[in-house]
Amino acid sequence: MSDRSVFFVSDGTGITAETMGNSILAQFAIKPRHVRRPFIDTVDKAHQVVREINATGQREGKRPIVFTTLANDDVLAILMGCEAKVFDVIKTFVEPLEEEFNMKSNHRVGRFSDPSVDQEYNDRIDAINFALEHDDGQSSRSLDLADVVLVGVSRCGKTPTSLYLAMQHGIKAANVPLIPEDFDRGFLPSMLKPYKKKCFGLTIDPDRLSHIRNERRPGSKYAALENCRHEVAQAEAMMRREGIAWLSSTHKSIEEIATTILRDIRPDRLVY
């Protein structure tokens, strides 16, 4: 069923409206058409969106769904006049909170503070740069500054997880591959020794790993299922021996892996 449209209307990026709307819509076995309309910050733009929503509903024969985070009352009033089922995040959640806090809100939702003066924002950028500089074992320099060092075989998900931890949580994550030479020697890469307590392992189902590696280097020994089985078994044995906590990335999204890592190694970052 793709015969219905969902609009995300915001005076900012629309990320909040969209994230929320998508997580709600995921509850339903439908595939609506998604339309994002960011930066709707004037009465004129609101009229334009309303015309688009109404025309869409008429074309599809079903009224559209709208998720909105518009904070400006004049702009919102125009949107509310559209022929759609509108979910207004502000009215639903902000007004009860005004009562709870006994305080007026400043009618600003989903806006980011000015990054040029925001320490938390700058920490995130620093963390992204750190992840890039310490991707794939590139550098052991300032590894003491890492919040976590991800280890695991090539292509098990270390890099996207590092970047996600940096971008979303401002966590400095380095990542170091476990490679056949390490298994032959039977020791962790030497750069990891001083930082074993910060290490967190990722592992992956060998079939899935073989599939991923085959997309990169088709038919190679690197991608062969037999080799993937060997590397994964060796990596898991090494992590077990060294007492490094690990999880399998096979059926987990980056977001879920990152949340688990945060909870396990930096529970203090879950309270912030």
83-102 positions binding a second copy, by CB under 8 A: 85, 87, 89-90, 92-94, 96-97, 100-101
Q: How far apart are CA 49 and CA 42, in angstroms?
A: 11
Q: Does 237 bind a second copy (CB under 8 A)?
A: no
Distance, CA of 229 to chain centre: 29
Q: How far apart are CA 12 and CA 39, in angstroms?
A: 5
- The residue within the footprint of a second copy, chosen from 55, 59, 74, 112 (CB under 8 A), is 112
CA trace torsion 59, 61, 62, 64 (10° rounding): 10
Q: Does 45 bind a second copy (CB under 8 A)?
A: no
Q: Does 33 bind a second copy (CB under 8 A)?
A: yes
Mark the segment that binds a second copy (CB under 8 A) among 18-26, 73-81, 143-151, 236-244.
Answer: 18-26
Q: Does 184 bind a second copy (CB under 8 A)?
A: no
- The residue within the footprint of a second copy, chosen from 49, 109, 143, 148 (CB under 8 A), is 109
Q: How far apart are CA 157 and CA 19, in angstroms?
A: 23
Mark the segment that binds a second copy (CB under 8 A) among 120-128, 145-153, 222-230, 237-245.
Answer: 120-128
- The residue within the footprint of a second copy, chosen from 77, 115, 141, 237 (CB under 8 A), is 115
Q: Does 263 bind a second copy (CB under 8 A)?
A: yes
226, with CB counted inside 10 A (0-12, 13-18, 19+), is: exposed
Cβ atoms within 10 Å, residue 51: 11
What is the footprint of a second copy within residues 56-85 (CB under 8 A)?
A: 65, 69, 71, 85
Q: Does 119 bind a second copy (CB under 8 A)?
A: no
Q: How far apart are CA 85 and CA 188, in angstroms?
A: 57
Q: How far is the CB of 241 from a second copy (least distance, A)?
A: 27
Q: Does 135 bind a second copy (CB under 8 A)?
A: yes
- SS3 category, 152: strand
